[in-house]
A and B are shown apart, each in its own frame.
Chain A
Amino acid sequence: MYFKKGQLEIGITMMTLLVFIILLIVSLVFYFRLAQGNIKETRQEILDEKYSGLLDALINLPELRYSLSGAEKNCLDAVKLNNFKIITKDSLDRSEYYNNLLGDVNAIWIDKIIIENGNVKEETSKEEIYSIKGEGLIYSSPVSICNDDKFEAGKLNIQIK
């Protein structure tokens, strides 16, 4: 079987086009996979940023921070922590204010590290500060808690819907 020159050239063009299309499809698939991964990563970064910012805002909230005669100390007030749940719900205005501030936070609690006879106890003491039922991601930050003259170390945790 003989091919004419024109048929041969068409064959070559078709082959080149086929290879080019295959390469294009492979690169497009690869690119979209990478782009999808990047979008997921960016989403996670934005969420991390948002909730870590919220955690910092909570640590610096006057309603939780320890102060003596107007001078703030670098720790959270144990008494204020105990009463936070009450003040967030004692009136409709306040409830709305804290709902806006906390957004999709399900729960806030502190895991206090217990030191006994110069040693750290394995189990921590969990103290609930604010809660709505639900499950979700947890973000935490180390904090210092002032209780009269005693300072305790712990982790402030927030759970997101």
Chain B
Amino acid sequence: MRKGQTEMLGLVFIVLILALSLVLYIKFSGQKESIALEIRSNTRVNNMLNALMLVTVENNKQMKDVLIRECYTNSQSCSGNVTLAEKLLNEMKEERENYQLEFEGFNGIPDDKKKIGNCEQGISATPARFTKSGRSYTIKLRLC
């Protein structure tokens, strides 16, 4: 190998190292997670679930009471209230946000409505748990 060729190889090697370090820098610089953002989203999703559970839907009855009463067994009004909850969440969320609302212990809610929305990895609110007549009910909300 001539001297010129060796120098060319050296230069190519340096360029490759530079390019590699740039790629690594770009890859890792975008991966920092903001804890503040997580805390903020957590407060937001908790406020959202709280507002949803407390809202009066009929004759001074709150959403949580109505859901427990109506969705004990399958009924038309149960589906109506689940749809209402969905619409309320759509009004409260920001355009860029997605949510997932899950009902546990509500036998009256059809299986396809027990999980509304799609957000598998996001910030979850503290689940709303209720007990009535020895049965326990849980409502979970997650925001993406």
Contacts and interface: CB of A to CB of B under 8 A. Distances in A.
A24 B132 CA distance: 70
Interface residues of B, number: 35
B7 A12 contact: yes
Taking residues whose C-beta sits less than 8 angstroms from the other chain, chain A's interface range is 20 to 34
A45 B37 contact: yes
B29 A34 contact: yes
A88 interface: no
Interface stretch (B50-58, B104-112, B116-124): B50-58
A59 interface: yes
A149 B65 CA distance: 14
Interface stretch (A100-108, A129-137, A138-146): A138-146
A115 B91 contact: no
B36 interface: yes
Interface of A: 12, 16, 19, 23, 27, 30, 34, 38, 45, 48-49, 52, 56, 59, 74-75, 113, 115, 118-120, 124, 140-144, 149-155
9 contacts: A48-B37, A113-B92, A115-B56, A115-B88, A118-B57, A118-B58, A118-B81, A120-B88, A142-B93
